[in-house]
Structure 1
Amino acid sequence: MNIRRCAAIALAACIGAAGVLWGAGEWLSQPAARPIGAAPADFAAQAVRIPIPASAGQFLAGWFKPGQPHGGAVLLLHGVRADRTQMLARARFLAAAGYTTLLIDLPAHGESSGDHITFGAREGEGVKAALAFLRTELPSERVAVIGASLGAASTVLALPQPEPDALVLESMFSTIDDAVGNRLVGRLGPAGRYLAPLLLWQLPLRLGVHTTDLRPVERLAQWHAPVLIASGSEDRHTPWHETEHLFAAAQAPKALWKVEGAAHVDLHAFAPTQYQQRVLAFLAVHLRGAPPGP
């Protein structure tokens, strides 16, 4: 085989690979829209539509269920390509404990508006709008956020003012570079790490977002709210050492929960009893003024 033919084959392979990666980037950023409908009959929540002031004409769809007066309120935020139903089991036990709950579809998910998933950059405007809704509806209540994966990153990146009174951050990536690299390694092996930049360079072209905009570990250091950080010991999307890095960046008061045996999964579904005990104890201290446990 002559040099010219080898070069042509190599060029064709590169073009083909670039096309595959471009297609992958398009799929990853496409909206995850789907109909949700009314809340289940056993969770008597009202449907809400919350405008996003920072984005004209854009809105959030969600469910709002008032709790007991002065009991505290919790905003629940799902992971990427999911919707508010992912957080329904959490909302049920919180509502049973008297908390007001607000479950939303993040922008470009479920029934909310949005033309692209931006991995926390624009989703953060939805978080701000949802928190503003809770502050308006319940001006005397203390407010917490429970965010899983994308929901956690969107909250931290948004840095809303005023801050919520407490944060529960589950399975949150430290940087988008790590998140993409870890996922490609999981699918393709060590070579995946070298392909990550070929996906990441698309962000400014496709979404107007830069990798420097998607570094929760840096933004977390600017927060002052009490935080509970949780992740699975077997999570390959966010390895434990990255979660420890996040915890080190957070300001006190803070708590860390290593969920033994859990991968990048729904932590409440994986360990429901432990989850409920830890989260309810954390919220009781920071939303209701209960004394800290031992």
Structure 2
Amino acid sequence: MRTRPRPLLVALLVPLLGALASGGYLALRGHRIGQGLLHPPHVPVQRPAAQEELAGLEDVSFSSADGLTLKGWYVPSRNRAAVVLVHGFADNRSQLLFEARSLARAGYGVLLFDLRGHGESGGDLVTWGDRERRDVTAALDFVSRRQDVDAARLGLFGFSMGGTTSLLVAEKDPRVKAVAAAGAYPALEADIYSGYGRWGALSAAPVLWTLRGAGVDVDAVRPIDGMCQLQGRPLLLVNGDVDPDAPAKLQASLFRAACEPKALWVVEGAGHGEYARVSPDEYARRLREHFDRALLGSG
């Protein structure tokens, strides 16, 4: 004779089983998201359509401190100053052709390169600013050795993940005399919660566990903690006011944490990386003037 489940026991078991199932689903979902963040698909590098737009463009390569070969393009300097450009997640150097053209036309040497795990560079693991710091440092090493460049006139620009990485490097490397970051995030953990924390720790924690399990030092990717370490070197932050990937409140926290001299430009109507589309002339002007003041003593 079968015993029927007691109503009270059923009432307790059903929500418990449901919670366990939901937790398992969120854990699996977060792990898959984390794997996608570590191993994004490769986007083909698109060479500039017209070589005249970046006159003298050279194919270059150099190595990171941990032995990865990094590929890029370099445009020689005509004013003895140079700016390293650092692209965002799941893209490559060709993402920043607008910024490169704007600065090259003003006489700057410009280095665009692919971060590890992106474009034509080596590596198959993206660490969201942790090990990418080595790539940016290697790029600065490359530019500082160029005969056309005064090593005391180096600038750094980064977008999104590249912006966060650029801030981390600039805080520690005094060779960077001016830095600009667009769509950057103040801390990797905060960015994960912003993007994937719909259910709080239940949905964000599995993503973070996956990153940490792959060796990413999540706690080291916190440029907000060292913004005043720029110690008088000019900072420009750029953000769109309708950016879902780098919300204005996150960018504003970076700005508040920084010391002078600093500037924040919020581009009305721009999403993530849409500054050149929404306001191309002003965007180009602001970049040029920012680096002119710091690297050329003008503007």
Cα deviation for residue 170 of structure 1 reads 0.7
The DSSP-based 3-state class of the residue aligned with 2:230 is: coil
Q: TM-score, normalized by length of structure 1? A: 0.88
Paired letter, 1:260: E
Q: Residue 124 of structure 1: SS of its match in structure 2?
A: helix
Deviations along 1:166-217, one digit per CA (max 9) or x if unpaired, are 11111110111221122226xxxx43564112211222212x1233112111
Aligned to 2:295: 287
Q: Give the equivalent residue in structure 1 for 2:58.
A: 46
Q: State the match for 1:248 in structure 2.
A: 256
Q: Pick one of 180, 183, 194 that aligns with 1:168.
A: 180
- Report sequence identity in percent: 32
**C-alpha displacement of 1:4:** 5.5
> Is residue 33–residue 112 contact of structure 1 (8 Å, CA) maintained in 2?
no
How far off is 1:253 after superposition?
Answer: 1.4
Deviation at 1:144, TM superposition (A): 0.9
Contact 1:182 / 1:193 at 8 angstroms: preserved in 2?
no
Give the match's secondary structure for 1:222: helix
> Alignment partner for residue 211 of structure 1, among 218, 239, 242?
218
> After the TM superposition, which of the residue ranges 121-130 and 158-167 deviates more from structure 2?
158-167
Unmatched runs of 5 consecutive residues or more in structure 1: none
Question: How does 1:211-230 map onto structure 2 within 5 Å?
Answer: 211-224=218-231, 225-230=233-238
Task: Tell me the C-alpha RMSD between the 2 structures.
Answer: 2.2
For the Cα contact (< 8 Å) 1:170–1:231, is it kept in 2? yes
Greater Rg over alpha carbons, structure: 2
- The alpha-carbon deviation at position 99 of structure 1 amounts to 1.1
Cross-structure match for 1:232? 240
- The answer as to 2:29 corresponding to 1:20 is yes
- In structure 2, the CA distance between the partners of 1:243 and 1:8, relative to structure 1 (3 Å rule), is closer
CA contact (8 A) 1:39 1:63 kept: no
Query: Are 2:150 and 1:140 equivalent residues in the alignment?
Result: yes
Taking structure 2 as the reference length, what is the TM-score of the superposition? Answer: 0.86
Residues 37 and 177 of structure 1, relative CA distance in 2, 3 Å threshold:
closer
Mapped partners of 1:80, 1:65: distance in 2: 23
Q: Distance in 2 between matches of 1:254 and 1:5?
A: 56
Compute the displacement of 1:250 (Å): 1.5
Per-residue deviation at 1:77?
1.0
Equivalent of 2:114 in 99, 105, 109: 105
User: In structure 2, do the counterparts of structure 1 residues 166 and 154 end up closer, same or farther at CA, with 3 Å as the change threshold?
Assistant: same
Aligned residues of 1:148 and 1:171 also touching (Cα < 8 A): yes
CA distance in 1, matches of 2:267, 2:14: 54
Q: Relative to structure 1, is the Cα distance of residues 121 and 4 closer, same or farther in structure 2, using a 3 angstrom cutoff? A: same
Structure 1 residues 46 and 39: alpha-carbon distance in aligned structure 2, compared to 1, 3 A threshold: farther
Which of the numbers 152, 163, 168 marks the counterpart of 1:152?
Answer: 163
Farther off after superposition, 164-173 or 135-144: 135-144
Q: Distance in 1 between matches of 2:217 and 2:111?
A: 30
- After superposition, give the CA deviation of every residue in 1:70-101 in whole Å (9 maximum; x if it has no partner): 2x211111111110011012111211111111
For the residue of structure 1 that corresponds to 2:229, the secondary structure is coil
Q: 2 CA distance for matches of 1:78 and 1:255?
A: 21
For residues 180 and 277 of structure 1, do their structure 2 counterparts lie closer, same or farther at Cα, with a shift above 3 Å needed? same
Compare 264-273 and 112-121 and name the one that shifted more.
264-273
Provide the rounded CA distance (Å) in 2 between the counterparts of 1:174 and 1:64: 29
Between the aligned partners of 1:76 and 1:210, the Cα distance in structure 2 is 23
Q: 1: distance between equivalents of 2:73 and 2:118?
A: 14
CA distance in 1, matches of 2:207, 2:70: 28
Deviations 1:131-189 (A, max 9, x none): 0100011452511111111111112223453331111111110111221122226xxxx
Structure 1 residue identity aligned to 2:195: R
Amino acid at match of 1:48: V
| 1:183 aligned to which of 195, 198, 203 | 195
Distance of 2:46 and 2:275 partners within structure 1: 25
Distance change >3 Å, CA 136–CA 194, structure 1 → 2: same
Equivalent residues of 1:39, 1:46 under 8 A apart: no
Between the aligned partners of 2:228 and 2:116, the Cα distance in structure 1 is 25
